[in-house]
Structure 1
Amino acid sequence: MAADTPAPPRFGVEEEYLLLDATTGLPRDGADGMIAALPGLRAEHEYFHSQLETATPPCTRAAEAFDSLAEFRTAASRAATDRGLVLAGTGLPPVGGDAPGRVTENERYREIDRTMRGMVHRYYSTGTHVHVEVPSRDAGVEVFARIARWSPVLVALTSNSPIWLGGDSGYASWRYLQLQQWPSSGYPPSFADAAGYDEVVQQLVRAGALLDTALVNWSIRLSEKFPTIELRTADAQLESGDAVSFALIFRALAHRALQERETGAPVPEYQRDALRGAHWVAARNGLGSELVDPESGAPRAAAEVVADLLSHVAESLEAAGDLERVQRFLERRLADGGGAALQRRAWQRGGIDALLELYREASSADSMSSSR
């Protein structure tokens, strides 16, 4: 990286988890007790009482994010075991998703429940959200356009919700398909600047399609609270180490896009429906077969598309000291097929009992330390 090239931006990771009954695998309320048992570890409520959330502080290095999430998972996994629960890093509950969840006692959540009605009564969607710092909101919406073509492969890399209502959904990320119900969903349209972004969001609020400007559910959005862009496509991950490695890839994509902005490189155009189709293919296939080539739009082997992604961000990863870690992560994902494939194999081997054991092992300290 040249001396005058901006350093890779800071980033943060939000991890959400499901709380599942250790015997039945059904979602079970337990967030209040879990939060009380985890003082000082940034444990927070999510939409349902059967969900839990944490977040890293703003991070410069991968180790900072990993240490924050690993500390939380180790403590939370133990607290869950003590309460007859399993802390599950999965995008959806494999069983029990047909039962309405109990909404957290929060005025905004209650308003979402009232406004969105039956769409959120069983909204167990549990994800990994990544924030990356940007110099301005205008820069943020330009990053959206510059990384759009790579967004589908990010879905494939993090697909981790294949089992739904006690059976194989046929999709690597059934959660991603469920997200498409929201009034603002999928990859956002192209905007000339942040003012254009804000105007569309305000139109959705005025129309009553959004409760407020913070409820934007595009795959990537401007944060309402922080000077960041936020990627929301990823399912919750089996291991925190995988969530961190994924975050490093997204940071590298944003870093390269910001460099291109500084040099005045042309902003790529994309056709939104074609991009939507590429995301659908990624959510269906995961890493198991083919993805859509970011350049040609034609089907290509997933391994080849992943290799192209790595080549695209290698310089930015190298600048941050993250290249070897991400290389190891991608090699392992291609070898094991990713979280969706691991869950499918466990389900086929032993049903819900095998899945619960997979979730337990993935949240253990030994498993996470091997992901460094």
Structure 2
Amino acid sequence: MGVEEELLVVDADGIPVARAPETLLIAARRGEGEDVHQHDLEEQGSDVDVPETAHLVPELKAQQLELGTPVCTTLAEVGAQLRHWRSRADAAASAVGSRVAALATSPVDVAPVPTEGERYGRLHEAFGRTAEEVLTCGCHVHVSVTDDEEGVAVLNRIRVWLPVLTALSANSPFWQGLDTSYASFRSQVWHRWPSAGPAGPFRDAGEYHRLVAAVLATRTVLDDGMVYFDARLSANWPTVEVRTADVLLRVEDVVTLTGLVRGLVETAARDARAGGAVPEMPAEVLRLAGWRASRSGLAGELVHPRTGRPAPAADVLADLLDHVRPALAEAGDERLVGDGVAALLARGTGADLQRQVHRETGDLAAVVRAAVEATTGEATPRAAAVASR
């Protein structure tokens, strides 16, 4: 398994600043990432020699960057790698007078600045205002599968649970300086892309690949990297990639999410091998379930994956844990993931922390500063007290 996270680069006033290219240049010189020029050549299929240690890379906007863990086999390793690479990203940003924040949208009003590069330029030309306005940060979890047939069998069985992952990762209540009333407004913005959203179920891997080919044949998206299904087969790795989560403030919550995703994938693979039926839920209902999850996070009701009816978020999470418990137990993750879910229910999501800080201070810049502290694990006593409520 592995995790990719997108982070904002911010200044002392909490404003996202277009210093990611400078930050990545520092990281590249330290052997810790690709600069914008290297990455653009890589995206165009060049044989540029990118170091194997590259884990920090550019993203669509110059106010954000992406980190990726290496392949991990335990949740402890995932947590250690995330802490390491968040720390290295922050150190590189600090060298150019900035910090990094695991925020899925910017609390303060910001004018997004495009990252230079041929592919990014084509994205902005093709998608106009959508590409211009999008400054969002997600978290993608990869889990290995045996082959595409197993991968599609997994996708068919986990799709009904993906809105629950949106709810527990919710970390984007503010947009353009205002409270949106959503827990994950990033999800709303993200679904402006034409290929984003739920997909499936599929009869087999052949049908999945035919759908991807049909999407590409419309010439609406640029390439297979823009097949933004909520979960998909990775184009580059033998993995299922789950893409519905906001970037999460705390590393421990990313570890919980990763454990749940691996548990879902393993449970689905076992069910497929046993000949279990694929859960039935139309994509239109899944889209509604995703909307409800983004609206209230863990504070309200979610659409239950088994019934298609509203149920308290705590009950849905309890059923999710029951669903994946055998897989968690076999991996030795049952207690860690169970405690992580309990912690999220007790203290709330990143969206809850952001709103708590804003209620106490009335200052969106303070929200960003608290997020920087939570991102790097260097929370002050006051921020830690707020986070624990």
Q: Is the aligned partner of 1:354 residue 2:345?
A: no
C-alpha offsets along residues 336-362 of structure 1, whole Å, 9 cap, x if unaligned?
A: 121111111112222223212211211
Q: CA deviation at 1:366?
A: 4.8
In 2, the alpha carbon distance for the partners of 1:159 and 1:133 equals 25
Q: CA RMSD in A?
A: 1.7
Q: 1:93 aligns with which of 103, 106, 125?
A: 106
| Letter of the 2:366 counterpart | A
What SS does structure 1 have at the residue aligned with 2:133?
A: coil
- Is the 8 Å Cα contact of residues 142 and 240 (structure 2) preserved in structure 1? yes
C-alpha offsets along residues 281-319 of structure 1, whole Å, 9 cap, x if unaligned?
A: 010010011111222222111111111111111111111
**Matched residue, 1:292:** 303
In 1, the alpha carbon distance for the partners of 2:139 and 2:289 equals 20
In 2, the alpha carbon distance for the partners of 1:349 and 1:82 equals 31
| C-alpha spacing 1:250/1:111, structure 2 compared with 1 (3 Å) | same
**Matched residue, 2:24:** 35
| Letter of the 1:352 counterpart | L
**Matched residue, 1:109:** 120
In 1, the alpha carbon distance for the partners of 2:162 and 2:377 equals 30
**Matched residue, 1:13:** 3
C-alpha offsets along residues 114-135 of structure 1, whole Å, 9 cap, x if unaligned?
A: 1112210121111111111111
Q: CA deviation at 1:169?
A: 0.3
C-alpha offsets along residues 63-91 of structure 1, whole Å, 9 cap, x if unaligned?
A: 22111110111233244345332311011
**Matched residue, 2:42:** none
Q: TM-score, normalised by structure 1?
A: 0.91
Ranges of 4+ aligned residues in structure 1 off by more than 4 Å = none
**Matched residue, 1:341:** 352
C-alpha offsets along residues 184-228 of structure 1, whole Å, 9 cap, x if unaligned?
A: 121112111122122222222221221112210111111110111
In 2, the alpha carbon distance for the partners of 1:321 and 1:290 equals 30
Q: CA deviation at 1:93?
A: 0.8
What SS does structure 2 have at the residue aligned with 1:254?
A: helix
- Is the 8 Å Cα contact of residues 19 and 87 (structure 1) preserved in structure 2? yes
**Matched residue, 1:54:** 67
Most deviating of 67-76 and 311-320: 67-76
Q: Which runs of 5+ in 2 are unaligned?
A: 33-54
Most deviating of 112-121 and 101-110: 101-110
| C-alpha spacing 1:323/1:40, structure 2 compared with 1 (3 Å) | farther
Identity %: 38
In 1, the alpha carbon distance for the partners of 2:373 and 2:287 equals 34
Q: Which runs of 5+ in 1 are unaligned?
A: 1-10
What SS does structure 2 have at the residue aligned with 1:189?
A: coil
- Is the 8 Å Cα contact of residues 219 and 232 (structure 1) preserved in structure 2? yes
**Matched residue, 2:38:** none
Q: 2:89 aligns with which of 61, 64, 76?
A: 76
Tell me the number of residue pairs that the alignment of Structure 1 and Structure 2 aligns.
356
In 1, the alpha carbon distance for the partners of 2:301 and 2:341 equals 16
Specify which structure has the bigger relative contact order, considering alpha-carbon pairs within 8 angstroms and separated by 6 or more residues.
Answer: 1
C-alpha offsets along residues 164-183 of structure 1, whole Å, 9 cap, x if unaligned?
A: 11111010000101111121
Q: CA deviation at 1:240?
A: 2.2
